[in-house]
Amino acid sequence: MTAKITVIPGDGIGPEITREAVLTLQAAAERFGHTFAFTEALMGGIAIDQTGVPLPDGTVSLCRESDAVLLGAVGGPKWESLPGHLRPEAGLLGIRAALGLYANLRPAVLHKALRDACPLRSELAGDGFDLMIVRELTGGIYFGERGREGNAAFDTERYTVSEIERIGRVGFEQARLRRGKLCSVDKANVLETSRLWREVMHRLRGDYPDVEYRDMLVDNAAMQLVRDPRQFDVIVTSNLFGDILSDEASMLTGSIGMLPSASLGEGSFGLYEPIHGSAPDIAGTNRANPIAAILSAAMLLRSSLGLPAEAAAIEAAVAEAFSQGLRTGDIMGEGCRLAGTAEMGGAVRDAL
């Protein structure tokens, strides 16, 4: 097949990790007989420097003309003094809204070969775990009314029934594709938006009798992820809670550098990115972990291009690279060999 992919390297380590992901996609295309055309676009701090805004109109247009988008990371200390609507992170919120990407899928997998990188005791992590966090992406407190009044500041959490219903259905459908278990996380004992969230989820569960469903308060969910991550299959939750819980889950896999993500809307189009930030302190040093970006590329193949065998081949290649004892610094273990960004990406491609 032929596909057009927009690449947004962004800031900090973004260009380094997206390079490894693009090279891996090219290797997969060669192995399986596809043609992928890549076009780079600006977003984040680099876009501010070159155009004055974090999300140029041309970037949105390029993305809309593509089959999928691969994103690196945005942000850094250089732009922290700017007002909120001009900071690099505003580009992330803007592109999600502009492209209608309301569902964020964040798989967290602990590979058996990385067991020593997990901070949990062996009896808690076992031989590994595999869970999926489904995060609502275009509503909630990140998009609500905000401002300052004198010595006070406010941010507003707001959800509609339709917003909750569409992300809820994504959660149920993901559970059907996996092990058939869905946990809806909220704060219904305190927040009115969470009470509405729970009402809608309880109504939806009737449409999915084959899925085992339960509710969990977010503070308990944070504790349960540490106590027994293997109990979870799919977690569906709000924008804020999903952001926090997925970062917690990432550390259970060994490093935040391990977690990919897919941001989806209606249809097959999606934006794919590692969940970590731009890590400006190690930018340009060949120390960044490219695995989350490479696994994001695998999600792109599976979800937007409909190429599950190709995606599985990349994921298997990642596992093979780990089995050879190669590690970037963030997941380094006893008896392993330290690899830089380029070497780690190259090992994955060799295995592919």
Contact between 1 and 49 under an 8 Å Cβ cutoff? The reply is no
Q: Is 219 one of the annotated active-site residues of the chain? A: yes
Q: Is 210 one of the annotated active-site residues of the chain? A: no
At 29, the amino acid letter reads A
Tell me which of 187, 208, 233, 330 is the catalytic residue.
187
Neighbours of 288 (CB within 10 A): 32
Neighbours of 271 (CB within 10 A): 27
Tell me which of 130, 215, 228, 247 is the catalytic residue.
247
Q: Is 116 one of the annotated active-site residues of the chain? A: no
Contact between 232 and 183 under an 8 Å Cβ cutoff? The reply is yes
Q: Report the alpha-carbon angle 342-10-236, nearest 5.
A: 95
Q: Is 142 one of the annotated active-site residues of the chain? A: yes
Tell me which of 67, 186, 243, 330 is the catalytic residue.
243
CA distances from 17 to 80, 113, 204, 241, 277 (A): 23, 22, 39, 26, 11
Instruction: Round to whole Å and give the CA distance between 74 and 279.
Output: 9
Contact between 270 and 263 under an 8 Å Cβ cutoff? The reply is yes
Instruction: Round to whole Å and give the CA distance between 178 and 151.
Output: 48
Tell me which of 127, 207, 219, 350 is the catalytic residue.
219
Instruction: Round to whole Å and give the CA distance between 104 and 123.
Output: 30
Tell me which of 11, 67, 102, 142 is the catalytic residue.
142
* Residues with active-site annotation: 142, 187, 219, 243, 247
